[in-house]
Structures are given as structure tokens and as C-alpha cells.
Amino acid sequence: MTLRFEHTLWRRWAPVLVQKLVQGYLRSCSTEEAISPATRELVLSGRPVLYTAWHCHLLFPLTYARHYYRGRPPLALMASPSRDGEFIAEVARGLGFEVRQGSRNKGGGQALRDIADYARRGHSCGVVADGSRGPARVVQKGVVFLARLAQIPIIPLAVAARWKKVFDTWDRFELPLPLSRIVIMAGDPLWVPYQARGAALESLRLELEARLNDLCHQSQVYFSSAKKNSRTP
């Protein structure tokens, strides 16, 4: 029997296989943190926050979240209702996340409101900043809308990997390789006032975009900079 990607058995078991594979090889990697003091204090306090990262850095935060959220209620994530989005949603559920599905064109508003309700009950959540289809490195409005609606701070994330595979996709997806050193990077929290509307909300969206791009740049040069600094007398 030829098992095609569209086959029911493949669609059922592939997320489980991906989940186990990712968990297995990421355990072979050494992990470090580069987290701002304000963010570390906020996360350790147990207050709900909204994590966000570029699509290219999505994989590692999904698995690393357990480091801080072991024993706590699961984080709620938003995934696209597309076939690929459903695949990612199944992987995320297998890793212990709550998932709400929606996009700009299909159910996105309701999904954001559902996640906001979850956050108002004291639980953290996560949204990909540039969405499931991009454009890459452009923050979509849903991120700041959710932070305003739920009144929780946004925590921008990025990932630096010593060895990685960069795919020729719209987001330039980065896959850390086995035995690599990986650094999870988190910037200062960004608060979105409830009264922020129009130009004020757009200004905060641009601020978040700038912070994420700065973190992304730091992730690209992290290991080369560390190597250079280690040679400085």
C-alpha cells in the first residue's frame, strides 16, 4: 500500500511521529537562555503573558515552554484552519498545548476572543507574529489586538542555534540540528493599553515588529559574536 501524504493513516500518525522526533533530538541539544530581567521576573511570577515570535522560530519555543510551564495550565495557541495548520495544531496538542484555530479570512476574530477569555482566567498564550502565511517579518494586527483585549503583556521571542538548517520557504524556517547549542531569547515585555486604537495601536504594532526584528538579528549573529568576544583579551 502506498501511503500518500493525504492518506488518513498518515494524517493521523504523522503529528505523533513529528512530536516524538522533535522531542527526541532536541533533548540532545544544550539549551541556554538570554532573557531580559523584567521578562524573567514577570514569567516566574505566574502572571499570564502573550508570547510571540516570527514563524521561522516557531519550533523550539513549542518544546521549551514546558521548562517554565510544567505543572501549570497549558498555554493556548492559535493555529491556521488550513490542512497544514491542522497538522501543526495536532503536534502542539501532543506537546500539551490548548489550540484555537482561525486565520485572517476564517474564524480569526473568534479564535482571538476565545484565547483572550482563556488569558483573562489567568493563563498564558502564544501567537505567531507574522501569521501562517506572512508576509515574513511583518507583525499582524491580531497580536496587538489580543494583548489589548486580554490586557496581558507581549513577550517577544527569538531562537539562536549554533547549527541549523534554513529552509527555502516564505519564512526562511530554521530547524536546529541535533547536538546543537540553542539559546532562547526573550526581550522586554510590551504592554498595549486598552484605550489604544487607530494610530496608537499601529504604533505599538510597529514597535513590536522592531523588537522582534532586533531579536531576530541578534539570533543570527549570537554565536559568531560569542566566538569573537571569547577571543578578545
Residue 20 to residue 109: CA distance in whole angstroms: 32
- Quick: pLDDT tens for 162-194: 999 999 999 999 999 999 999 999 999 999 999
pLDDT at 54 over 60: yes
Burial tier of 117 (Cβ tally within 10 Å: 0-12, 13-18, 19+): middle
Q: What's the mean pLDDT in 24-51?
A: 92
**Greatest Cα pair distance in the chain:** 63
| Average pLDDT of the residues in 226-230 | 57
- Greater confidence (159 vs 86) lies with 159
CA distances from 79 to 84, 129, 141, 195 (A): 9, 12, 15, 27
Cell digits of residue 220 = 543570527
Per-residue pLDDT at 4 exceeds 70 = no
pLDDT tier for residue 5 given thresholds of 50, 70 and 90: very low
pLDDT-derived band at 1, boundaries 50, 70, 90 = very low
How confident is residue 3, by pLDDT bands cut at 50, 70 and 90? Answer: very low
122 dihedral zone (left: phi>0; alpha: psi -120 to 50; beta): left
- CA–CA separation, 5 and 64 (whole Å): 28
Q: What would the pLDDT profile of 112-167 be if each residue is shown by its tens digit?
A: 999 999 999 999 999 999 988 889 999 999 999 999 999 999 999 999 999 999 99
